Structure 1
Amino acid sequence: MHPVETFELVLVLLATVIALHWAASRLRLPPSAALLVGGGALAFLPGIPQISLDPELALVLFLPPLLMDGAYYTAFGRFRRHLPGILSLAVGAVLFTTLVVGLVVHLLIPALPWAACFALGAIVSPPDAVAARAVLQRLTLPRRLQALLEGESLLNDATGLVLFRFAVAATLTGSFDAGAAAGSFVLLAIGGALVGTAVGYAWIAVMRRMHDETLIVATATLLGWAAYLAGEAAHVSGVIATVAAGIVFGWHQHVVLPARVRMQGSAFWRTLVFSLEALVFILIGFSLRGVLERVGFEAALTAMTMPVLAIVLAVLLTRFVWVFGCDAVRGVMKRAGLARARPLGPRQAIVLAWAGMRGVVTLAVALSLPGNMPGRDLMLVTAFAVILATVVVQGSSLGWLIRRLGLVDGDPPAAMDMAAAEAAIAHAKRNAVEAVAYDAEGALRHPRLLEEYRKRDAATQRYAGDAGNFMPSIRAHFGVILTAVAAGRAELIRLHREGLIEDEVLHDLERDLDLEELGALFQRGEEPDGEEAREAGAGQAEGRTS
């Protein structure tokens, strides 16, 4: 394909991504499901060239930044508190699924070597970080359940990849040492955590010495790839190295990054992650064409239909067995007097069991199978079938299931709520202003600032004591501010359209209005998308310039 044609195809894919995202939002479907199905349909249109997803490139291109994104926003306290449950899913459930699927495959196809059967189990066993994040970010879950699912998605890819490599090696060589495999896994995990932690702290040390905002954002963006490649170069787990680096950076970014850098970086990072997530799923859809062309459409529908359906069913049921079995063990331990053992309960266990979406890792490792691997065609078709079933069926129904079950957050609340925290911050601000409001002789130098912060302190103290009654007036107050911001934005646009100000002035004043709008929306208790203010500002601007 000519380079210009390749670029044109990339533009077509990006336009398709936007259209499918828009359609998914209108139909209230997970974008991942729409992109997967849309990519598969688009791949078979006449004139569309075949796109092959290189497995090694897919892992190194997509996995590190998306793992980094999940690790960066991980609530580390909850992650650490629920680590035993996370490891139960990320290691125990993946091992259990690999074993069960391997047994099912051997029962269905006795001629296939045992190691090849377990290789297929390792391919389909780990729920994917990309697929999980694409679905979970749009849902509201109890904090414990959220921590378990997010933590599992960060760590289980490492387990699946290690199991897959050992199973493939055992198939091709005919030998397998379980003790050596377990020891290697522990070393890979610990080594990955150490490498990732070291890379994360080194990156923070570098960014502390930078003053250019663009360089800081660019340096932070490279951290995920740097940790992953460093882990792979050190022959440890690049996945765990990326997660460790992301957690370190996410923990320290509050004091390392200035506010402006954080805002700029967040906007850029959201756009990057959106693009990568979308391309992952649409490329997975495109890969269906290559799989069917290799295997043969007729063979996929006839000879492989029953084994594939049986394996997909085994994957789904195995997770339910593991989740409910572990929850039953927690119940027995709690009745035995172990206070730390808290069962999830049947409702949260159902959601946890149903949220096992597969994605790019499953397909990438399947595509990386050696050409002489026994059962390779079956593995490719099964991998795609599992991705399709879990992303489309489970991902599309997960939100409905959560609403239907009416989950209740059973985790104890934090010591301070939002109102109390705001009151503490306002009090600290007042103390800081009072400390510098007087000169050495005791004369008041900043009377207006001191009065303002005293008023804020008093107001937040009253609000903390009776937040419910104060909220309507607070919403009205910041609603007036949003109206003023919309009017200011309309006037700014009018001045620019009439050629009265330069572009630099427009950008600077627009940034100030954006910050004011975000602050007002947050104080009013809304998501900072500024939709109402933008609509009001657009209406006023249209009225003034027409």
Structure 2
Amino acid sequence: MKTITVTLVLLGCVIAGSFIKRAARIPLPVALVQIATGALVAEVFDFRVTVAPDVFLLLFVAPLLFLDGWRISKEGLFRDRWTIGALALGLVVFTVVGAGCFIHWLIPLMPLPVAFALAATLSPTDAVAVSAIAARVPVPQRLMRVLEGEALLNDASGLVCLRFAIAAAVTGSFSLVEAGGTFLWLVAGGVAAGVVVTLVANAAKDWAATRFGEDTGTQILISLLLPFASYVVADRLAASGILAAVTAGIVMSYEELAGRALAGTRIRRAAVWDALQFAGNGVVFVLLGQQLTGVIARAGQAVEQTGRHAEGWLLVYVAAVSGVLFVLRSLWAWTTLRLIAFRAGRGAPMTIRAPGWRVVAVTSLAGVRGAVTLSGAMALPLFLADGSPFPARDLAILIAAGVIIVTLIAANVGLPHALRGIDVSPGTREQRQEDEARCAAARAAIEAVTRALGEAEKDADEADFFAQAGARLIAHYREQIELHVRSGADSARGLKIDASERELRLLALGAEREELYRFARLGRLTDEQTRHLVREIDLQESRFSVHRPRD
């Protein structure tokens, strides 16, 4: 009963934070509101939750990274692999070494291995937070994909570095040769576990669906279990469960390209995962808020033992570490983007028309820390190998929490200004690919309808109705083809007409739905009929409301 109560309270805090954020008149990141909500509940009701570090990684980090791997653009990941690799791997090592040494110098009471562990938790970025903040300002699509790819891969690399740093802190020893072998096994074992578990699970699922029919609930449940199964298998093999979860998500995205799942399954599965992502990210920040006051108190006691004033020095630590992280990221981004642009033989990196400093500023400000950073900090062990308390653990968690808050505020304030000077060249490769795909799909539909009309065996009346319906449908698809093959002014005019039609369709569908509900309230439709008809309208509305405008 206690577990159920804790779960309900945490989810209630997530919901309350979302309501407060929407009610606020200022653009406030929802993560900050959720932290404040958790702290308020903890203080008023003395309600605090403690989660074991390994359980925290399994329950929250694994599914979130699995979903990131599932949904990330693979084409963008491979196309900008050098940029993403430099940010996700090179920058992580640069941050761990540079920030770790600085933290140890700034806070002598924090041993060097613990400082490296803290720096490793601070190295991963959170693309979800950047997406939410940048929603008010157009972000170049390619730049956003680079940031998403970096966030996906540096989660894994940062947590692997964290594992080595924790091992050195706990045991008091570190061997470069042994660490190299362990690293190779962590990567190879984690990747292999994710691939094997996902392929086996999908093969069994597809075999059962082919033989006995597809059940939507079963399909969704299997997708929910995959990150946990991959993590557990890798962990049992002493490999990286985080890499296993990321790999499982990437493999799942390729499996989905086979198109075996029913349309209804894909729609419902996406909705379930959206809810899980929202709840998982929210609970992480609520937990931070609940533990914040206790962490501040214990961290203050540790600082006071050195003869310094707790409150003032805690703020200095957070500000200084945040500033160093920004400087390190800026230096690495500036150097990396210049080298990649020089290697490619082009002017501005990533085909962005803007002064170089704006690209660097956006890339640096976009280094927002989020759920994975907090997860890594809370995953620090409670005790060393000899049973003594882990040194400066609460101070490390507090600094990590402070850096999350500072980077969220900095990105929320600075990104809109930095992004104003960035524009994307028209007629990008993605737009051309989308137009070609839409035209090819429409031609395939016309061919299928034409073939069906020619093969239909019906009487005279039915054949006439069938032909008229086919003509209307073919006309619709030809109109779609014409829309996407236009160029210049005709293309712009067609897109405006298309946008206006979409707006009117949404208005009409809303009116349809309201009228159906009115009939239901009058008792002229049963509940089952109402749900069926409204679902048809909802599916049509989702088609038009999710349209992505061109950059």
TM-score > 0.5 by shorter chain: yes
State the 1:247 CA deviation: 1.7
- 2:100 is aligned to 102
- 1:27 is aligned to 26
Contact 1:32 1:134 in 2 (8 A): no
For 2:297, give the aligned amino acid: E
Structure-1 separation of matches of 2:437 and 2:27:
35
Q: Which 10-residue stretch deviates more, 120-129 or 436-445?
A: 436-445
- 1:376 is aligned to 393
State the 1:99 CA deviation: 0.8
SS of residue paired to 1:405: coil
Contact 1:30 1:396 in 2 (8 A): yes
Q: Which 10-residue stretch deviates more, 350-359 or 476-485?
A: 476-485
| CA deviation map 1:444-474 (0-9, x unaligned) | 9542243224323432343232333334544
SS of residue paired to 1:493: helix
Contact 2:82 2:340 in 1 (8 A): no
Q: Which 10-residue stretch deviates more, 478-487 or 52-61?
A: 478-487
For 1:79, give the aligned amino acid: L
Structure-2 separation of matches of 1:139 and 1:205:
42
For 1:425, give the aligned amino acid: A
Contact 1:76 1:251 in 2 (8 A): no
Q: Are positions 1:405 and 2:421 aligned together?
A: yes
Out of 470, 473, 488, which is 1:450 matched to? 470
Out of 403, 408, 412, which is 1:396 matched to? 412
Structure-2 separation of matches of 1:383 and 1:102:
13
Unaligned runs of 5+ in 2: 305-309, 384-388
- 2:282 is aligned to 278
Q: Which 10-residue stretch deviates more, 93-102 or 485-494?
A: 485-494
Out of 330, 353, 357, which is 2:340 matched to? 330
SS of residue paired to 1:231: helix
Out of 314, 317, 330, which is 1:320 matched to? 330
Structure-2 separation of matches of 1:35 and 1:171:
32
Structure-1 separation of matches of 2:361 and 2:108:
33
- 1:354 is aligned to 365
Quick one: structure 1 residues 481 and 365, their matched pair in 2 at CA, closer, same or farther if it must change by over 3 Å? closer
| CA deviation map 1:226-265 (0-9, x unaligned) | 2222222222222222122112222332412221111122
Structure-2 separation of matches of 1:23 and 1:329:
45
- 1:496 is aligned to 520
| CA deviation map 1:320-347 (0-9, x unaligned) | 111112223334435xx69998697332
Quick one: structure 1 residues 151 and 4, their matched pair in 2 at CA, closer, same or farther if it must change by over 3 Å? closer
Q: Which 10-residue stretch deviates more, 59-68 or 353-362?
A: 353-362
Structure-2 separation of matches of 1:17 and 1:302:
29
For 2:245, give the aligned amino acid: T
Structure-2 separation of matches of 1:138 and 1:71:
25
Out of 376, 379, 382, which is 1:365 matched to? 376
Structure-2 separation of matches of 1:290 and 1:247:
38
- 2:307 is aligned to none
- Bigger RCO (CA 8 Å, 6+ sep): 2
Structural mapping, 1:193-342, within 5 Å: 193-208=191-206, 209-210=208-209, 211-254=214-257, 255-296=259-300, 299=304, 300-302=310-312, 304-334=314-344
Quick one: structure 1 residues 132 and 204, their matched pair in 2 at CA, closer, same or farther if it must change by over 3 Å? farther
Quick one: structure 1 residues 426 and 4, their matched pair in 2 at CA, closer, same or farther if it must change by over 3 Å? closer
Quick one: structure 1 residues 7 and 381, their matched pair in 2 at CA, closer, same or farther if it must change by over 3 Å? closer
Quick one: structure 1 residues 487 and 316, their matched pair in 2 at CA, closer, same or farther if it must change by over 3 Å? closer
Contact 1:366 1:380 in 2 (8 A): yes
Superposition RMSD in Å: 3.3
Structure-1 separation of matches of 2:11 and 2:111:
44
For 2:391, give the aligned amino acid: P
Q: Are positions 1:147 and 2:145 aligned together?
A: yes
SS of residue paired to 1:370: coil
For 1:273, give the aligned amino acid: Q
For 1:29, give the aligned amino acid: L
Out of 485, 488, 498, which is 2:509 matched to? 485
Structure-1 separation of matches of 2:95 and 2:292:
24
SS of residue paired to 2:242: helix
State the 1:288 CA deviation: 0.6
Structure-2 separation of matches of 1:460 and 1:365:
49
Contact 1:102 1:117 in 2 (8 A): yes
Contact 1:232 1:238 in 2 (8 A): yes
State the 1:2 CA deviation: 5.8
Contact 2:114 2:166 in 1 (8 A): yes
- 1:36 is aligned to 35
Structure-2 separation of matches of 1:133 and 1:147:
10
SS of residue paired to 2:525: coil
Contact 1:66 1:130 in 2 (8 A): no
Structure-1 separation of matches of 2:174 and 2:536:
63
Structure-2 separation of matches of 1:521 and 1:112:
51
For 1:508, give the aligned amino acid: H
Structure-2 separation of matches of 1:12 and 1:34:
13
